[in-house]
Structure 1
Amino acid sequence: MNSHRLTHIEARNAPSGGGRGWQELQQRFGSRTLKQLLLPAIATAREGFPVTQVISHYWKSAEGDLRKDPGSATTYLVDRKRAPKFGEVFRLPALADSYQLIAEQGADVFYRGTIAQELVRFSDEVGGLFTLRDFNDHRADWIDPVSTNYRGYDVWELPPNGQGIAALQMLNLIEPYDVSAMGAGSADWLHLFTEAKKLAFADRAKFYADLDVVPVPVEEMISKKYAQQRGALIDMRQANSSVPAGDPKLQHGDTVYITVVDKDRNCCSLIQSNYYGFGSKLTPPKLGFAIQNRGALFSLDEEHANRLDPHKRPFHTIIPAMVTHKGKPVFCYGVMGGDMQPQGHVQILVNMLDFKMNVQQAGDLARVRHLGSATPRGAAAKGVGVVEVETGIDDKVIKKLEKRGHVVRRSVGGFGGYQGIFIDHENGVLRGATEPRKDGIAVGY
């Protein structure tokens, strides 16, 4: 194994849910057929696309691993040797063929047809454990989002097996404080944010798991009463170096993000990922896509809620979000980036609601992220952890944080990728924002 992946499929892989999810969305809400929706993607994969600057950087960083797998080298490297450069047109003909099959035969071809059969054959070839039953039994679920109210706005996230409620827990912990008086980028605000994150992530490490398999006290964890209890552990003068998970039961028994709002104010907040860049970095050459490795986020601790079990979904980091006000949607957004996602959700929302920034300013402002919390895979917390700060955070602020016991370091990259649409109902205007740190785009109509 290396630091990012195991060398065999069985340890990290799980069937992808994307294809079934696309079809469910199309059948319930779509105004076009699945084939019509997939045609642009098919054309892009077959005819090619110019590689953008940020993507070329990440592609280059994966070059060595992609060379190790013949299918990945054939699919993702120029002449099976190198990653495409910025501006080069790159084609994915086998992926286009897979999309074409889904367009013509529906999602069943991925879970019960020729694509599933090829995935199982390839898995057998490389020593994996996929069976056709793994794909046949896969389903896409319609679930109810959960919310908390922050400054009069209802913030909606998905419940576990994802980490969306971590953002809600953080907001509940932050709300009692006069954040606007602290000021954006201040030591007080960054300290409060970091301490709230530690508390939410301690619960994330212990409790977040597949709701269909284990009881997760979601409503208790996102309650204001529980936040009041947990918030007592925040000391505004000192960084907390020991953050145990709470006991909410005592209160009561490679990621991409897209958001679209149409003329009728129907809103879609969508995120999907193959976990690490290029997933497992193992690619069935006939299919043209790398097999995702989201199974890496299971715990191997038999006593852990997120332990590896049959027909169980692993903990996920991907979390789309939506905000409503007086029953109307006002903000659809997401922040790509693993553990940064709930941290990004909170920073963006606080920038808008407390610091009164517009939808683009909220994303442009320098961010921080805290590393070192316990994880749903079973890793223990590392003392106070590390607060990474972006360019734009003042040196004086860093010194104040260090005096409170934080370990602080400047960093480039890793602060997420944000996209958002704010709905101005009064003026009938949509305001889009895109991430300057990534290759995103905001497009009006």
Structure 2
Amino acid sequence: MRRRTFLAALPAAATMPALAAARPQGAGASGGEAAAPQAPAWPAGEDRYMRPDVHAGDRPIGASFASRTAVYGLNGAAGTSHPLATQVGIDILRRGGSAVDAAIAINACLGLLEPTACGIGGDVYAMIWDPAQRKVVGLAGSGRSPRGLSLETVRSRAKNGVLPSHGAISVSVPGAVDGWWTMHQRYGKLPWASLFEPAIALAEAGAPVPDMIAFYIRRGMALFARSDNGIEETANALRTWGMADGKGPRAGQVFRNPDLARTYRAIAAGGRDAYYQGEIADVIDRYFRRIGGWLRKADLAAHRSEWIEPARTDYRGATVHAIGANTQGIATLQMLNILEHFDMDAAGFQSPLSIHLQIEAKRLAYEDRARYYADPQFAQVPVEWLASKDYAAQRAKLIRPDRILTPVHPGQAPSRGDTTYFSCADASGLMVSMIQSNFRGMGSGLVADGLGFMFQDRGQLFSLQDGHPNIYAPGKRPFQTIIPGFATRGDDPWMSFGVMGGDMQPQGQAQVIVNRVDYGLEIQSAGDAPRWHHEGSSETMGEDDPTLGPKGLLRLESGVPQATKQALAGMGWTLGESDGGFGRYQCVEHRMDGDTRVYAAASEMRADGCALAY
């Protein structure tokens, strides 16, 4: 029984001692009583309410940690990390647009509204439930490295054997616009140009910046303003987002981007060719020549997205799908295949054993991630073996419930980063799980003259190790962290979902599936549940910190029970501070109420967004 319910059931006299004990010091002293010392006031400032001993109010139904209830609708749904983008998606659906139309319009808006996570300087991946084919199809919109940039040049710019995280050396061809075009050609209903109207209007009129996004823009501007950032040119970035004080917008301040509005108008009128072969490509080519970079119009003109068959695995009655290609999507399947060998229900929700087993599955999968994942057009990636049940059984035998596996290594194959995620669905049953990113932070720091968007720094994730499948090469796609998620049950769609945030993405996806399948949480509480994030592995993939040691660093959100934290520390896990890097989740669930389709949509309470349905 919750404490408030228990107190309400007691006689008033019986509750008085408890209430008195809970009363703040100095409150209500009268008569001959000596006033108790006043409790110290909370410090002033925007962080004054960050109190570990004060939590959200109690909801009368649902999980104690749930922030809200899922939203429901019969005709369509959308969940994004910005309320205005969600509203645009719903409006597109109401106008008769498909879920793909809504996804493109949402993504265009987020390029303006959430530039800390996405934009047309980055790549895109999607998984789509196609009701006509009754299957999940995948799209990979990942760009390649410049063909005129050699391995020798890349190595000459490396620091401690790793590519710089910013600047022209980290830029690869942006794949987002071509990905949108490719999806629209197959699944679009509304005219292409109409999908850009909401984003253009917002870019010209301006929109207030939410708290979280303002915080990250200002952090990005602080980096770009530093004289030692190593970036060839940052004046354009500072002009685009610096605002009046050069530090970026404050929470609630109206931000406009007329340069991006003009770029969107060109794309709306000229389609993908305006970006990859026309006036925008010309501007990009001149810019990189001016600053001494390598991206050229010929690189843009050669780019094409591709339709791919997602990999999949069954997990206790749910089929979880993942995009392979050059992404980390297989890691989600590997983790779930390993966890299937343990009784997660018996282990207990948020228990030390449950979290320990999940972390160990992550560590094993991420060793393979660092060793094998790469562009399959340049390397033989053993996807079938990595995602197989037999291999998972071998790996599961390495895990011990009472101690940490040390050391941990990748398996022996048989011979031969910041992101935005959103989901939407329409009345026909089409469902889109889509993720788009500039990679680390806002991206490379480079903004071509007058275009209003930043180029991705995805190239940092190439390896420079001889013989590694992911070693840098001209015209090669780098390892990708961005992965959409999708799950089906039987022959029907179930969840279009994702958890954005660099290496957190497979970890977060696996936690959502475990929360839903093993612990029976509904879609909102499955995302609101406290999360863990394990950093580091014995092999690195660009963003891993080699100083973390063989066990890595385990971060736990404040909502994880204190007893669980203590038990995990007692097992030998090194616990780090909760740093906000636990990903951000959106989900649309497909249900049937008899013969009637019902959508339920959930949004991440760790971000500024919302979910809507109608």
TM over 0.5: yes
Task: Select the residue among 238, 241, 245 that pairs with 2:406.
Answer: 241
Distance 1:149 1:309 in 2: 35
Task: Select the residue among 378, 388, 404 that pairs with 2:571.
Answer: 404
Match of 2:374 in 1: 209
Residue 554 of structure 2 is aligned to residue 387 of structure 1: yes
Match of 1:353 in 2: 517
User: Could you give the per-residue CA deviations for residues 223-249 of structure 1, whole angstroms, max 9, x where no partner exists?
Assistant: 000001111111111112311110232
Using the size of structure 2 for normalisation, the TM-score is 0.70
Using the TM superposition, give the Cα deviation of residue 327 of structure 1 relative to its aligned residue in structure 2, in angstroms: 1.3
Distance 2:283 2:173 in 1: 13
Q: What is the letter of the counterpart of residue 13 of structure 1?
A: V
Using the size of structure 1 for normalisation, the TM-score is 0.96
Distance 1:241 1:88 in 2: 50
Match of 1:413 in 2: 580
Q: Which stretch shows the higher mean deviation, 408-417 or 1-10?
A: 1-10
Distance 1:115 1:79 in 2: 27
Residue 455 of structure 2 is aligned to residue 297 of structure 1: no
User: Could you give the per-residue CA deviations for residues 58-80 of structure 1, whole angstroms, max 9, x where no partner exists?
Assistant: 11211223336110111111136
Match of 1:160 in 2: 325
Checking the alignment, whether the CA contact within 8 Å between 2:172 and 2:458 is kept in structure 1 is: yes
Checking the alignment, whether the CA contact within 8 Å between 1:162 and 1:208 is kept in structure 2 is: yes
User: Could you give the per-residue CA deviations for residues 61-113 of structure 1, whole angstroms, max 9, x where no partner exists?
Assistant: 11223336110111111136121111111001001111110110011111111
Distance 1:167 1:267 in 2: 20
Task: Select the residue among 178, 182, 186 that pairs with 2:343.
Answer: 178
Shift in CA distance, 342/375, structure 1 to aligned 2, threshold 3 Å: same
Match of 1:442 in 2: 611
1:283 is paired with a residue whose SS is coil
Checking the alignment, whether the CA contact within 8 Å between 1:46 and 1:92 is kept in structure 2 is: yes
Match of 2:477 in 1: 313
Match of 1:263 in 2: 427
Match of 2:197 in 1: 39
1:396 is paired with a residue whose SS is helix
2:589 is paired with a residue whose SS is strand
1:442 is paired with a residue whose SS is strand
Match of 1:15 in 2: 173
Match of 1:82 in 2: 247
Shift in CA distance, 282/217, structure 1 to aligned 2, threshold 3 Å: same
Distance 2:166 2:403 in 1: 44
Shift in CA distance, 7/372, structure 1 to aligned 2, threshold 3 Å: closer
Distance 1:200 1:267 in 2: 28
Q: Which stretch shows the higher mean deviation, 76-85 or 160-169?
A: 76-85
The correspondence of residues 316-327 of structure 1 with structure 2, limited to 5 A, is 316-327=480-491
Aligned residues: 443
Q: What is the letter of the counterpart of residue 441 of structure 1?
A: C
Match of 1:29 in 2: 187
Q: Which stretch shows the higher mean deviation, 131-140 or 8-17?
A: 8-17
Distance 1:296 1:186 in 2: 36
Q: Which stretch shows the higher mean deviation, 350-359 or 380-389?
A: 380-389
Superposition RMSD in Å:
1.9
Shift in CA distance, 73/436, structure 1 to aligned 2, threshold 3 Å: same
Using the TM superposition, give the Cα deviation of residue 120 of structure 1 relative to its aligned residue in structure 2, in angstroms: 1.4
User: Could you give the per-residue CA deviations for residues 323-378 of structure 1, whole angstroms, max 9, x where no partner exists?
Assistant: 11111111010001000000000001110111000000001110001011133339
Checking the alignment, whether the CA contact within 8 Å between 2:496 and 2:587 is kept in structure 1 is: yes
Task: Select the residue among 205, 208, 231 that pairs with 1:50.
Answer: 208
Checking the alignment, whether the CA contact within 8 Å between 2:163 and 2:462 is kept in structure 1 is: no
Match of 1:331 in 2: 495
Q: What is the letter of the counterpart of residue 455 of structure 2?
A: I
Checking the alignment, whether the CA contact within 8 Å between 1:208 and 1:376 is kept in structure 2 is: no
Checking the alignment, whether the CA contact within 8 Å between 2:167 and 2:445 is kept in structure 1 is: no
Distance 1:391 1:362 in 2: 16
User: Could you give the per-residue CA deviations for residues 20-48 of structure 1, whole angstroms, max 9, x where no partner exists?
Assistant: 00000111000012111111111111211
Checking the alignment, whether the CA contact within 8 Å between 1:306 and 1:377 is kept in structure 2 is: no
Using the TM superposition, give the Cα deviation of residue 426 of structure 1 relative to its aligned residue in structure 2, in angstroms: 2.9
Q: What is the letter of the counterpart of residue 387 of structure 1?
A: L
Shift in CA distance, 7/346, structure 1 to aligned 2, threshold 3 Å: closer
Distance 2:558 2:317 in 1: 32
Using the TM superposition, give the Cα deviation of residue 263 of structure 1 relative to its aligned residue in structure 2, in angstroms: 1.1
Using the TM superposition, give the Cα deviation of residue 402 of structure 1 relative to its aligned residue in structure 2, in angstroms: 2.0
Aligned-residue identity in percent: 39
1:193 is paired with a residue whose SS is helix
Q: Which stretch shows the higher mean deviation, 231-240 or 425-434?
A: 425-434
Checking the alignment, whether the CA contact within 8 Å between 2:212 and 2:607 is kept in structure 1 is: yes
1:185 is paired with a residue whose SS is coil
Using the TM superposition, give the Cα deviation of residue 175 of structure 1 relative to its aligned residue in structure 2, in angstroms: 0.7
Which structure is larger by alpha-carbon Rg, 1 or 2?
2
1:324 is paired with a residue whose SS is strand
Match of 2:599 in 1: 430
Q: Which has the higher contact order (CA 8 A, sep 6+)?
A: 2
Using the TM superposition, give the Cα deviation of residue 422 of structure 1 relative to its aligned residue in structure 2, in angstroms: 1.2
Match of 2:34 in 1: none
Distance 1:106 1:80 in 2: 36
Using the TM superposition, give the Cα deviation of residue 7 of structure 1 relative to its aligned residue in structure 2, in angstroms: 8.2
Shift in CA distance, 80/70, structure 1 to aligned 2, threshold 3 Å: farther
Distance 1:131 1:412 in 2: 38
Using the TM superposition, give the Cα deviation of residue 305 of structure 1 relative to its aligned residue in structure 2, in angstroms: 0.6
